[in-house]
Structure 1
Amino acid sequence: MHRKYLTQPWVNVAVLATLACFVGPVALAQISTPTTEELDAVKERLIEHYNMREGPVAMRDLPQWAPIKKIVVRDIYGPGSLGTTEARIEWISKVAPGVEFEVFKTTNEAIASGALQDAQAVLGIGCSPGLIFALGPETHWTQSSSSGVAGCFYRDGEDSIKAHQMMLKRGTVLTSQRGVNSIAIAEHALSLMLALIQGVDIHIRRQDKGIWGRFFTDRVKDPNIDWELDGRTLLIAGLGTVGTEIARRANALGMRVIATRNSSRDGPDFVDYVGLAYELNELAAQADVVLSQLPLTAETDQIFNAEFFEIMKPSAYFINMGRGQHVVMDDLVDALRQGKIAGAALEALDPEPLPPGHPLWTMPRVIITPHVSDYSDKHEDTVWQLYRENLRRYIAGDKLLNVIDMEKGY
C-alpha cells in the first residue's frame, strides 16, 4: 500500500467531517490541533513514564537541520485507538502543517518506490543498510521502528559498516523506539525470572502429561526452586532504559540489584551497585540471576560464552532479554547439561526461530519465548506519540528523544 497525504497549515473541516464517519468521536477529538497542555502531557508520559531521554544537541544547532517538506512513513498497524492510517496521519500532521506524507506498509515498498530520495525525514522504518543506501542527500533524520539499531552499525557485516559511514558523512540523526517497550519488556523479564524460580516450567510440563507433583517433595531433586526473592542478587547487564525498569521492579520485590553499563557508574537509588562493562564477570560470580539487556555491538557479540557460564554460580539462572547474538548457544547448552547453571530463560535466540530438533526446545529448566516481549496493549499509541513528539521537536529545532550515539551504535 502506498498513499500520499498533503497536509494543510490549518484544520481542514471537510477532512475532519469525513474522518468522523469512520473514526468516531474519541479519535476525532484526538486529531484536533494539539494544545500546549496536551503536548506537555505527552512529553511527561514519554520522558517520565517510559524513561526516554533527550539527545545532547538541539536540532537547530546542527548545520544540516532544514525545514521538512516531505516525510516517508511506514505504518504497519491496522485500525487502532487512533483510527485508520488516514486518521493517524491527520493526527500526527497537526504538528507538521504543510508537510507531505507518503505512507507505505513495508520497508521494501518504500525503497522500491524511490520516495526516500527526496524525503527530509523517515518515520517507522527499521535501521538497515538497504534503507540507508536508499536515502537521498536531504534525509537528515530517521526515526527507527525498533529499539535496537545494530543493522546500521554492525549486524550485517560490510553493508552495516558502509551504512554507518554514510550516515556519519551526511550527519544523519538517528532516533530509536527505545523506551516504548520498556515497561512491557521489564514485566516480561520479571515473569520469566519468577517462572524459573518457582518452577512454573516444571508444572507446565507435568500438566501436559497429566502428572500431579508437589514441590516440597521435589527439593531433593532440584534445590534451585521455590526461592524467596528477598535478599537474592540480580545482575542486570546493560542498565539502559529497559534495564532500569527491570531494576525498579526487582528492587520492589526485595532483591539486591547490581548492574553494568558502558557509560558511567551513575544509577538510580534502587540499584545497589553500578559497575562498568569490564566488571561483568566479577559481578556475575555474585549473582543468583544474571539478566542481559545489552545492546548488540562488536564488543557484546557472543559475550555470554563458556568462560562466562563457568563463572556463574551453579545455582544461578541466566535470562537473555537482549539479542540472540549475545549468547554462544552451544556453550549455553553445554553449561545446562553439565549443571554449571541452574536454568535459562530466553526471549532472544540465535537463530530465530530455533531450528527443529535444537536441544534447547526440550531441555529441562529452559523457558523460551519467541521475541514477543516488546508488545503490549499500549504499544501502538506510545509509538505514534513518540513519532509525533519527535516530529514536533524536529520542526521546532529542539532536542529529539532517543537519539542514537553514532559512534557507539546505541
Structure 2
Amino acid sequence: MRTIETTALVRYTDEKGLADALRGADALFLYDFLSTALRRAWPAADRLRWVHIASAGVDPVMFPELRESDVVLTNSRGVFDDSIAEYILGVIIAFAKDLPRSLELQRRHRWQHRETERVAGRRALVVGTGPIGRAVARMLRAVGMAVSGAGRRAADGDPDFGEVHASAELAAHLPGYDYVIAVAPLTEQTKGMFDAAAFAAMAPGARFVNVGRGELVVTADLMAGLRAGRPAAAALDVFETEPLPSDSPLWTMPNVLISPHMSGDFAGWRDTLVEVFAENFRRWHSGEPLLNVVDKQLGYVPSGQ
C-alpha cells in the first residue's frame, strides 16, 4: 500500500466510516471481504468507478445497486486455490485413515487396531469448475483419485475433470461418488443446492466437504442427512452463520470435522491479497486491463480471464 500512497490519496476506514470515506473516492479496496457495509454506504459513492474485494467470493457485494451500476468489480481469484486444494486432500486423508478416531483413542490411552481405506481409486465429484475446483481436481488426481466436475454446463474431455456434469442435474450423478466437494460460488442458482434431495442421493458411505459458502447447504437437511448416514461424514469450513453458534449440533456430531473458515488461509495470505490489489491498482492507474473482472450478472469471473 505504501507504493499506492505515492500516486493516490489513500483513506483507511472501518465499516462505521465507510460512507464518509467513499465520498469523492474513485476506487475501493474492500479488505474485509465478509463485510456487507458497502450496501449501506452505497449512496455516498458519488464517483466510484472500481471496487476490488480481497476474496474469490463476491456475494457480500452482489446487491442490486452495484450489479446495475457501471462500477467495475474485481476479486482476488487465484490466491487461495492451491491452499484450499491441500486442505481438501488433508480432510480426505483424515477420513480415509480414520485420524479423528485415532486422536480420540489417543486421548483415552486406548490401543485399538483398525483397518483403513485407500485414497487411490476413490471417486470424487468437485462441484464448482473455476480455478479452485481445478486446483482441487489436479491435487486429487495426483494421489490416484478419479475426479469429475459439476458446473453450469456439461462437457467431455475437460483437461482437469475429464467429465463435467451440469449442476442442474446434480442429484442424478451424486450416487456415483465417494467424496462430494463443494467449491462453487454463491449465486441464486447455487444457493441451497445441497438439500435433503441431494444428500439422500449420495452413495452409502460418501463424505461431503464444503469450502465454498455456507449458504450452498441447507444446514438442517445436512444434519438430518448425517444422522441418517447420507452423507456418512462431512468436513465443513464454511457455514450459513459465522462464527458457528456454540449451541449448533454440528459441534458435537461424531462424523463432522469443523474448521473456522480457514481452508485457504496460509501464512502470509494477507500480504498476498494486498499484492493482488496493488498490481490491479497499477494497471488501473496506467489504463491497462484489470485482472479478475467479475461478471456481475453471473457473480464470478468467467473462465478464460
TM score, norm. by length of structure 1: 0.68
**TM-aligned CA deviation for residue 357 of structure 1:** 3.7
Residue 180 (structure 2) aligned to one of 284, 290, 299: 290
Bigger Cα displacement from structure 2, 266-275 vs 287-296? 266-275
Q: Structure 1 residues 141, 197: CA separation in 2 closer, same or farther (over 3 Å shift)?
A: same
The superposition leaves residues 91-143 of structure 1 with CA deviations (integer Å, 9 ceiling, x where unpaired) of: 344xxx54211223x233333xx121101001134375531415423111001
CA spacing shift, 1:263–1:167, aligned 2, 3 Å? farther
Unaligned runs of 5+ in 1: 1-88, 154-159, 217-225
* Counterpart for residue 148 of structure 1: 57
Are 2:25 and 1:119 aligned? yes
Q: How far has the Cα of 1:363 moved from its partner?
A: 1.6
The answer for the alignment partner of 1:199 in structure 2 is 98
1:170 aligns with 2:69: yes
SS of residue matched to 2:191? coil
Matched to 1:124, the amino acid is L
Query: Partner of 2:283 in structure 1?
Result: 393
Q: Is the 8 A contact 1:137 1:170 kept in 2?
A: no
CA 1:135–1:248 in structure 2 vs 1: closer, same or farther (change >3 Å)?
A: farther
Is 1:213 aligned to residue 112 of structure 2? yes
Question: CA–CA distance in 2 between the matches of 1:288 and 1:277?
Answer: 18
* Cα distance change on mapping 1:174 and 1:267 into 2, 3 Å: farther
CA distance in structure 1 between the partners assigned to 2:84 and 2:264 by the alignment: 5
Partner-residue secondary structure (3-state), 2:254 = coil
Q: For residue 188 of structure 1, what is the amino acid of its counterpart?
A: Y
Give the match for residue 18 of structure 2.
110
SS in 1 for 2:45: coil
**Structure 1 residue aligned with 2:8:** 99
Q: How does 1:6-405 map to 2 (within 5 A)?
A: 89-93=1-5, 98-104=7-13, 106-111=14-19, 114-125=20-31, 126=33, 130-132=37-39, 133-153=42-62, 160=63, 164=64, 166-216=65-115, 226-262=116-152, 265=155, 268-405=158-295
- The Cα offsets for residues 28-69 of structure 1, whole Å up to 9 and x where unpaired, read as xxxxxxxxxxxxxxxxxxxxxxxxxxxxxxxxxxxxxxxxxx
The AA in structure 1 aligned to 2:12 is V
Q: How many Å apart are 1:178 and its aligned residue?
A: 2.1
Q: Is this contact kept in 1: 2:18–2:37, CA < 8 A?
A: no
Contact 2:153-2:164 at 8 Å conserved across structures: no
Change in Cα spacing, 1:209 to 1:108, as seen in structure 2 (3 Å) is: farther
Task: Note the residue ranges of structure 2 that are not aligned, 5 or more in a row.
Answer: 301-305
Q: How many residues align?
A: 297
Residue 227 of structure 1 aligns to a residue whose secondary structure is: coil
Contact 1:320 1:348 in 2 (8 A): yes
Within 1, Cα distance between the matches of 2:241 and 2:69?
Answer: 33
Distance of aligned partners of 1:170 and 1:338 in 2 relative to their CA distance in 1, 3 Å threshold:
closer
Supply the distance in 1 between the matched residues of 2:275 and 2:59 (Cα, whole angstroms). Answer: 24
With over 3 angstroms needed to count, the CA separation of the structure-2 counterparts of 1:284 and 1:184, relative to structure 1, is same
* 1:151 alignment partner, SS class: helix
Q: Conserved in 1, the CA contact under 8 Å of 2:156 and 2:163? A: no
Distance apart, 1:349 and its partner CA = 1.8
Structure 1 counterpart SS, 2:92: helix
Name the stretch that deviates more: 317-326 or 359-368: 359-368
Q: Distance in 2 between matches of 1:267 and 1:130?
A: 43
Q: For the pair shown, which has the larger CA radius of gyration, 1 or 2?
A: 1
The question of whether the paired residues in 1 share the 8 Å contact of 2:15 and 2:37 is answered with: no
Q: Give the Å deviation of 1:274.
A: 1.4
Whether the 8 Å contact between 2:214 and 2:238 is mirrored in structure 1 is: yes
In structure 2, the CA distance between the partners of 1:384 and 1:255, relative to structure 1 (3 Å rule), is same
Alignment partner, residue 15 of structure 1: none
Q: Report the TM-score, using the length of structure 2 for normalisation.
A: 0.90
**Cα deviation digits, residues 368-409 of structure 1 (max 9, x gap):** 111111311231232122111111111222221121111112
Look up the SS of the partner of 1:118 in the other structure.
coil
Contact 2:280 2:291 in 1 (8 A): yes
Q: CA deviation at 1:266?
A: 7.5
Post-superposition Cα deviations, 1:322-355, rounded to whole Å, max 9, x if no partner, equal 1111112222222222223221111112222333
Percent identity for Structure 1 against Structure 2:
33
